[in-house]
Amino acid sequence: MMSKYRHVFQPLKIGHMVARNRIEVSPGANLLGSEEGFVTRELIEWTRRMARGGAGVVTVGMSFVNPMEQALRGFSLDLSSDKVVNGLSRLVESIHRYGARASIELAYMEFVPPQKPQEELTEENLARIRNETSINDKVQVRLPAELSQADIERIIDCFASAAERCLRAGMDMVLIHGAHEMLISQFLSPHKNKRTDKYGGSIENRSRFVNEMLEAIRERVGRELAIEYRLSAEELTPDGIKLEDSLAFAKLIQDKIDLLHVSAGTLSDDQIMGCVIQPTYYERGYNVHYAAAFKEQLQIPVTTVGSINLDLAEEILAAGRADMVAMLRTIIADPDAVKKAQQGAAATIRPCVRCNTCINRPHYFFLPVRCAVNPLAGREVDFMHEPPSPRQKKVVVIGGGPAGMEAARTAADRGHEVILFEKEPRLGGTLNKAAAPPFKADMKTYLDWAVQMTTSHPRIKVRLATAATPELIKAEQPDALVIAVGARPNKPDIPGINRDHVVWVGDLEPGRVRLGENIIVAGGGMTGCETALQLALQGKKVTVVEMLTLEEIVTSAPIINMLSLLSLLKKNGVRLLTETKLDSITATGALVIDAQGQKQELAGDTVILSLGVIPDREAAARFDGLAAETYVIGDCAVSRGSIWTATTTAFDAAMEI
């Protein structure tokens, strides 16, 4: 019931405006703008969907106040041009339509691509560089000491002019991005700001640039536009900004802003990225203690951010640790999360698993945003005019893993009658194993939600412990058949692979196999590394063997998650051997070969195989021709399956029925 979220649904006065509740959709790069930096229909629908979901403030993410090279613009909004106002006004209308307040993040960033000697910066070369490197590789912001007075005045004017354009478009608020080692935050840092003039030295001088910028914005927009300022309470690096300086800075600017948005960390250091955008291995509410410190000392409201869902938001607000709670991934996973909480349907909120698919694609590969558990995210326009099915059909789904459940729910939501066959006595498939480690609580929450939403759906009949056969399917006479039989383990022909102490990673359920104390894990992908971490936390001595390079391992899954996972492996004493091939399995361990061709014998009383899986196309082929419509989805349809490929292929297939 709404009373459970009493504090969440209290209004909040922010400068000139009042937000209907204490939830802000925080900013993020979605890359749904046009290549020229203008508003698109895709961006409008993405934003509109969040506003319709009930948040008090919806913030449009990462928009740039300065003009940039077109080849490196990255499909974010260009607020340096008056031409952006027209489309931005339509976007604002889509937010206001549902009673939410419209905000937008203003950022300054200089894109200076790394160059080979004598390489000419042609449009073609810039495009190639954009495709070959991540955003972080391209961002090389000049340090404060490198800026002339004219540069400073130009940057200030960029912010003020951008804010004025936002006001003209009808925005209620702007969020100044002064966190994560962006240029304006570097003025605050005594380690980055080496100026000896009025912009360097004392905290008052180091705050001068931001003070002048905020004054310039106020001169243009007055109090008609609320201002939220985002900072890193601490940058979490040895020489980075510390809480003491951040608090002093906030006191110096609080009379010029209406809301302080407290984050932490820096985006320029990949090792710190997990502290900014926490993966599933980090606790939720990561930055709340920082926000609480600011709230104690400031006279303006404070926003907290960092892996927060609705239940945690209520706890934070009830305890008085912040005045507003910002969240993005929770809303991406289920845009109706706020509305569902308000209407007493919080149990139906689709949980975010913090896999960071939504972050990985835009930040590292210049791809539009997608979500692993919400197959509509970023694709709202593709399905906004999807016609209903012309008639109700009987749909049979084979396989009750994440793909099968998604297909069953989507088909049932479209009005079809669905029968779901699962050979095991419980739904979930490989998610049951993926959600087993204690640090995968997010996945367990999602699994429980998916099972509950599937089994409680009035149009879905679930038949557990029932292996589908062609004869059984024929007897059902389905109009449509969805095949989600998954994949089989990759077990290459390696000498010794059938020894008694060799275990497939999928068999590591509690009590199913007996493990030794000295473990060799063959395979350093995400599954292998998570398995290694789980065993290390149990006190086992673990060595991971992987043929790929360290860089290839990191990019084999969402990068922030892999970097964080590898850091945890190191912290817990796991030995990682990269560019190393498993040659054979011996009675006392394994023989491996490194990149130089040198052989080494590793001692181990258990060898765990985590060498990937192979789509089980043979199992899927058994059901060919049994229905007029047949769809193959999930791990049996793709070579490198994930939650994202499972839910997306399932949703796409079900929408065609």
Q: Could you read off the pLDDT of 628-653 as tens digits, one per residue?
A: 999 999 999 998 899 999 999 999 99
- Alpha-carbon span 325 to 304, nearest angstrom: 5
Q: How confident is the model at residue 514 (pLDDT cuts 50, 70, 90)?
A: confident
* Cα 44 to Cα 97: distance, rounded to the nearest angstrom: 12
**Token pair of 376 as six digits:** 């509509």
Rounded Cα distance between 162 and 66, Å, is 9
The answer to whether residues 33 and 26 touch, using CB atoms and an 8 Å cutoff, is no
Distance CA 168, CA 164 (A): 6
Please state, in angstroms and as integers, the Cα–Cα distance from residue 185 to each residue in 66, 176, 239, following that order. 16, 10, 14
448-477 burial, b at 16+ Cβ within 10 Å, e below that, comes to: ebbbebbbebebbebeeebebeeeebeebe
Tokens of residue 43, six digits:
């961006």
The length of the chain in residues reads 657
How confident is residue 290, by pLDDT bands cut at 50, 70 and 90? very high
pLDDT class of 70 with cuts at 50, 70, 90 = low
pLDDT at 516 over 70: yes
Q: How far is residue 357's CA from residue 28's CA, in Å, rounded to a whole number?
A: 13
Mean pLDDT of 376-382: 98
Mean of the per-residue pLDDT values of the chain: 93
Residue 73: the pLDDT is 59
Tokens of 352: 């975010």
Given pLDDT bands bounded at 50, 70 and 90, which one contains residue 179?
A: very high
Phi/psi for 11 (5° steps) reads: -70, 160
Token digits for 455?
């089994």
Please report the sign of the dihedral spanned by the C-alpha atoms of residue 391, residue 396, residue 400, residue 403: negative
3-state secondary structure of 178: strand
Say if residue 319 is exposed, middle or buried (CB neighbours under 10 Å; 0-12, 13-18, 19+). exposed
- Span 529-547, average pLDDT: 97
The helix (H) or strand (E) run that includes residue 244 is helix 243-253
Q: Which amino acid is at 169?
A: A
- Exposed e or buried b per residue across 589-627, where buried means at least 16 C-beta atoms within 10 angstroms of its C-beta: bbbbbeeeeeeeebebebbbbbbbbebbeebbeebeebb
Q: What number is the average pLDDT over the span 330-340?
A: 98
Across 115-130, average pLDDT = 43
Question: Which residues are CB-neighbours of 387 under 8 A, at least 6 positions away?
Answer: none
Where on the phi/psi map is residue 239: left (φ > 0), alpha (ψ -120 to 50), or beta?
Answer: alpha
How is residue 318 written in tokens?
């009830």
Looking at residue 197, its pLDDT comes to: 97
Secondary structure class of 173 (helix, strand, coil): strand
Q: What does the pLDDT look like over 128-162, one tens digit per residue? A: 434 444 444 444 567 999 999 999 999 999 999 99
Give me the mean pLDDT over the 444-470 stretch. 98
Paired tokens of 458: 């009035």
- What are the residues whose beta carbons fall under 8 Å from the beta carbon of 198, sequence distance 6 or more? 205, 208
pLDDT at 3: 78
Calpha distance 461→413 (Å, rounded): 13
- How confident is the model over 545-603, as pLDDT tens digits? 999 999 999 999 999 999 999 999 999 999 999 999 999 999 999 999 999 999 999 99
Q: Are 526 and 565 in contact (CB under 8 A)?
A: yes
d(CA 509, CA 576) in angstroms, rounded, equals 23
List, in order, residues 6 or more apart from 79 with CB less than 8 Å away: 63, 64, 65, 104, 106, 162, 165, 166
Domains of the chain: 2-381 (3.20.20.70), 389-489+615-656 (3.40.50.720), 502-611 (3.50.50.60)
* Strand 12-14 versus strand 17-19 pairing type: antiparallel
Q: CB–CB of 646/402 below 8 Å?
A: yes
pLDDT at 374: 98
Please list, in sequence order, all residues whose beta carbon lies within 8 angstroms of the beta carbon of residue 244, skipping any fewer than 6 positions away: none
- Indicate if the pLDDT at residue 295 is higher than 80: yes
> Does the structure show a pLDDT above 50 at 121?
no
Task: Average the pLDDT over each of 209-223, 259-273, 489-503 and give the range with the smallest value.
Answer: 259-273
Identify the pLDDT of residue 2. 58
Give percent of the chain with pLDDT exceeding 90: 86
pLDDT at 72: 52
Percent of the chain's residues with pLDDT above 70? 94
Do 344 and 2 meet the contact criterion of CB atoms below 8 Å apart?
yes
CA distances from 367 to 35, 180, 294, 403, 576 (A): 12, 22, 36, 23, 30
> Which is more confident, 507 or 44?
44
Band of pLDDT at residue 247, cut at 50, 70 and 90? very high
Amino acid in the structure at residue 179: A
